[in-house]
Chain A
Amino acid sequence: MIRRVLFNLMAWAIVLAVAFPLFWMVVTSLKPQSELFRRPPTILPEVTTFEHYWRLLSETNFLTYFQNSVVLSVVTTVVVVSIATLGAYSIVRFKYWGRESLAFLVLFTYLLPSVVLIIPLYLMLVGLGLSNTIFSLVIAYTTFALPYALWLLRSFMAGIPEDLESAALVDGASRMGAFRDVILPQLLPGIISTALFTFILSWNEYLYALVLVNSDNTRPLTTGVMNMLISSFNVEWSLLMAASVMMSVPLIIVFAFLQSYLTRGFGAGGVKG
């Protein structure tokens, strides 16, 4: 019994240590500027204030960045997941020449470093006159999101018994009819999981946003918030921590309500291959 308690205490000490930076982020964002420089530092804020959040929303470009990020991530997710769902169905359930090499190509690109593609992509998007648009980022994000989504969905699709589709065909459905009536409903958890991962990947992306967009109107959160750090004369940590918290809000929501979908995605794509 004592051993059990000790083990629990130890385990939770480690868990809390891992989570401490996040705790500190929230605490800092709620402290008045003056309390930040107190020695010794206060663990819980003496005075809780939301002034940084208010300033973030009213005095900075944060809302524009946030809006850009939402549009960018949602569009990327919708485009990528739609294309990948059809593609995964094709790769798993149809037979034609080149199908297997294609599956390997998907896996290969899934591992490809962004810095290899970024130079030609930059030249291509500048050439098309798309630089500095959210659309250019959608195009750039498909380079990592599409292979990723395809790989995940492929493994979800392979988990749906082939007999279900066969049964629908015998019952009189066409291939696309069987896809709509039987496969899509079965694939739905996988699609949700893939969409969440794609959304998170797009939400968090930094490098392409750094290279392809440099106007405040089109910047997503990652480069926007980072710019607040770099461009400010006097680093306001509370403000930055408030921005960090706000930036993580969508992830916290996903986490709170849809965690099972995230763990499922882990199993399907991350390790099972």
Chain B
Amino acid sequence: MIKNKQTKLERHYATLGMMLIAPTVLVFCAVIVYPLVSAIYLSLFDIYTPTLQGEWVGLDNYRELLGKGEFWASLRTNLIWTVGTLSLQILFGIGMALVLHQNIWFRSLARSLILFPYFISTVVAVLVWRWLFNDLYGILNHLMMAAGLIDMPVDYLGSMPNAMISVILVGAWKYFPFVVIAVLARLQTIPDSLYEAARIDGAGPVARFFDITLPQLRDVLVVIIMLRAIWDFKEFDLIFLLTGGGPVTSTQTLPLLVYKEAFSLNNMGMAAAYAVAMMAVMLVFMILYIRKTGEKDA
């Protein structure tokens, strides 16, 4: 058995490494680990927000939450939103990436225009869309009526299922550029020789897409889907600002429920319980993603 004796130099380097990471670790503990742990701890209390006074209630919050319809309804809404907007993002994102991969006129300008929705503030996106959606003077109603698609102005955000559809569409519009850029980057690394070989073998454009492009994109798509699923699931700003969860609670996803419980209904403890429950649901995706990333690193 060889004794593993560290040299002085090795110890010196290790110390230096730990000193460099120390600020990160300190900040992490203060603003992430500590709040995370106390979120779980708070969920065992009944706390009134304005006074911040509370009493220990154990698992009562969770018992109430699982028994109450609102949690399950919000979870359902959350899933509908996530699946809806994610599928549109992916479909539209891949399509747009394929188009931009071609040599179209002013390609870099087109790419910038496509990218822009992703980088603007959600606040800006929401303001613009609320103006487009405006029932009296919104351009959208006007265009649709002019095209003969509808007879009466549509209430896009105030009734169901319109509100959900609108939210999903705006979400897709705002976040599909992420998919475009990611897919585009991958497309550029597929060697031309693969397509040449397929062409020699007599594959048409459709066959080339399904036999070459799609398999090559598979890995990156898996990562994108997981990442976007996690991010869409926890989306707050967009939905909160567009509909506020309404009409009534029909677009109230879990993050909105947490916010409402904590800052409108003033039940901090209950809100924490909702947040922890939501995290538990997300944990599945998160672990999947982390494992996938770990695999790639190895």
**Contact (A206, B275) CB under 8 Å given A143-B32, A270-B182:** no
1/0 per residue A99-121: CB within 8 Å of B? 10010110111011111111111
**Contact (A121, B31) CB under 8 Å given A19-B116, A206-B237, A271-B185:** yes
- Is B28 interfacial (CB 8 A cutoff)? yes
Cα-based distance from A244 to B20 in the complex (angstroms): 40
For residue A184, give the distance in angstroms from its CB to the closest CB of chain B: 13
**Contact (A267, B104) CB under 8 Å given A120-B34, A121-B31, A255-B119:** no
Contacting residue for B128 out of A15, A22, A102, A175, CB 8 A: A22
**Contact (A117, B237) CB under 8 Å given A15-B113, A248-B124:** no
> Is the pair A116, B132 in contact by a Cβ cutoff of 8 Å?
no
- Is B99 interfacial (CB 8 A cutoff)? yes
Contacting residue for A86 out of B20, B124, B125, B240, CB 8 A: B20
**Contact (A119, B42) CB under 8 Å given A18-B114, A87-B23, A112-B279:** yes
> Is the pair A24, B234 in contact by a Cβ cutoff of 8 Å?
no
Residues of B within 8 Å of A, CB-based: how many?
Answer: 92
Give chain B residues whose Cβ lies under 8 Å from the Cβ of A248.
Answer: 120-121, 124
Binds B, one of A36-44, A45-53, A56-64, A187-195: A36-44
- Is B187 interfacial (CB 8 A cutoff)? no
- Is B194 interfacial (CB 8 A cutoff)? no
Give chain B residues whose Cβ lies under 8 Å from the Cβ of A116.
Answer: 35-36, 39, 275-276, 278-279
- Is B117 interfacial (CB 8 A cutoff)? yes
Residues of A within 8 Å of B, CB-based: how many?
Answer: 90
Cα-based distance from A225 to B121 in the complex (angstroms): 11
Cα-based distance from A12 to B106 in the complex (angstroms): 9
Contacting residue for B293 out of A107, A114, A115, CB 8 A: A107
Contacting residue for B104 out of A7, A90, A126, A206, CB 8 A: A7
Cα-based distance from A143 to B34 in the complex (angstroms): 11
Give chain B residues whose Cβ lies under 8 Å from the Cβ of A121.
Answer: 31, 35
- Is B207 interfacial (CB 8 A cutoff)? no
Give chain A residues whose Cβ lies under 8 Å from the Cβ of B34.
Answer: 120, 124
Q: Which residues in B have some Cβ–Cβ distance to A below 8 Å?
A: 13-14, 16-18, 20-21, 23-25, 27-28, 31-32, 34-36, 38-39, 42, 52, 96, 99-100, 102, 104-105, 110, 112-117, 119-125, 127-129, 131-132, 134, 136-137, 139, 142, 146, 173, 178, 181-182, 185-186, 220, 223-224, 227, 230, 233-234, 236-237, 240-241, 254-255, 258-259, 262-263, 268, 271-272, 275-276, 278-279, 282, 285-286, 289-290, 292-294, 296-297
Sampled A-B contacts (6; CB under 8 Å): A28-B131, A119-B42, A119-B258, A206-B237, A211-B263, A266-B182
